[in-house]
Amino acid sequence: MRVYVAGNIVVDETWSIDELPQKGASIHGRKISQDIGGKGANQAIILSRCGIDTHLIAATGRDIHGQWIRERVQDENISLQPEEALSDHSDTSIIFNSRDGDNAIITTLAAAEALALERILLYLADAAPGDILLQQGNFSVEKTRALFSWAKSHGLITVFNPSPVNPDFVDLWPLIDIAVVNQHEAELLHPTGVNTLVITQGAAGADIFRADDHLFCPAAPVQAVDSTGAGDTFLAVLLASSLIRGVEPDALALYHASAAASITVSRTGTLNAFPTADELTAILTHRP
Ligand code: ATP
């Protein structure tokens, strides 16, 4: 069983600044970190660290960042396709953190948009019934819908994390088996008709709704320093825990996901904050 993640991979640059700049201002800042990011890559990396056979379909650019991403991803045990660059520039997220705790984020989408549907379908050619197609919100509604339609007609299990959120995603629910949304996305998109609905609520925990079943798991109590990537960690570990045991996302998967996400929120950064493969093995073999 394989998980195909079709989405984005970006260079995350985090900058520390005194205050968010006013229009026309020129300010100094300090670059704090640079690492791989993007919701597609984040979720693929964590799935792979959990021991899942993971295939990331995400585009990089011809710039130095693209080369760096393609080299850096080799440290993680995932296959990244396309192997060649598609756009002039790799996608980038520049995260500005101000002294008073505010932030502003600029993300580019050119590489993700350069990845045509037909090309993604080529990389999905080996997918078999029972494999998973996981998508986030970085593709257009049309491309996201076409991929999920293809997946359903080929017997794949579809998993959707509609972030960044687009109100037009509301039409996609009939194609989705497992939806993972935060409270804001749940309010905007009203997920209905999915087999398994997971709603995360930050420090308050997370719920699973399935048919007449409702499960809740409180967040693990930790000193939270940076919640970036908590949702990606949660989703990937929830999926991995259930796939490893051959079950639908259940109470134990919720517990494993909460434990893993609590590690991510207790550390700064994104990739640097994610649990390691050893930490994930310990979590996934733990029965409370
Ligand atoms: P992000 O966009 O920041 O990655 P999200 O909005 O997709 O996150 P959240 O609902 O904020 O997702 O968090 C996902 C899960 O992470 C929660 O259900 C919880 O288990 C864990 N989590 C988030 N914040 C905290 C916290 N302060 N303490 C402990 N666990 C947390």
Q: What is the DSSP string of 7-48?
A: S--EEEEEEEESSPPPTT----EEEEEEEEE-HHHHHHHHHH
Q: How confident is the model at residue 268 (pLDDT cuts 50, 70, 90)?
A: confident
Are 21 and 59 within 8 A, CB to CB? Answer: no
**Ligand 1 centroid to residue 182 C-alpha, Å:** 8
Q: How confident is the model at residue 226 (pLDDT cuts 50, 70, 90)?
A: confident
State pLDDT tens for residues 189-199: 999 999 999 99
Average pLDDT (198-214) is 96
State pLDDT tens for residues 242-262: 999 999 999 999 999 999 999
Average pLDDT (22-36) is 94
Res. 288: pLDDT tops 90? no
- Choose which residue among 227, 228, 241, 255 to substitute to test ligand 1 binding: the one with the highest number of ligand atoms within 8 A of its C-beta: 227
Are 72 and 36 within 8 A, CB to CB? Answer: yes
Is 266 touching ligand 1 by the criterion CB < 6 Å? Answer: no
Number of H helices, E strands in the chain: 9, 13
Average pLDDT (270-282) is 95
Is 85 touching ligand 1 by the criterion CB < 6 Å? Answer: no
Distance (Å, whole) CA 163 – CA 169: 10
Q: Which residues contact 18 (CB under 8 A, 6 or more apart)?
A: 27, 98, 99
User: What are the structure tokens assigned to 177, written together?
Assistant: 């088996």
pLDDT at 269: 80
Mean pLDDT score of the chain: 96
Closest residue by Cα to atom 8, ligand 1, is: 231
Q: Lowest mean pLDDT: which of 114-123, 135-144, 268-277?
A: 268-277
Which H or E element spans position 43? Answer: helix 39-49
User: What are the structure tokens assigned to 165, written together?
Assistant: 């959120």
Return the amino acid letter for 232: D
pLDDT at 201: 96
> b or e along 240-251 (b: 16 or more beta carbons within 10 Å of the residue's beta carbon)?
bbbbbeeeebbe
Distance (Å, whole) CA 112 – CA 114: 5
SS3 34: strand
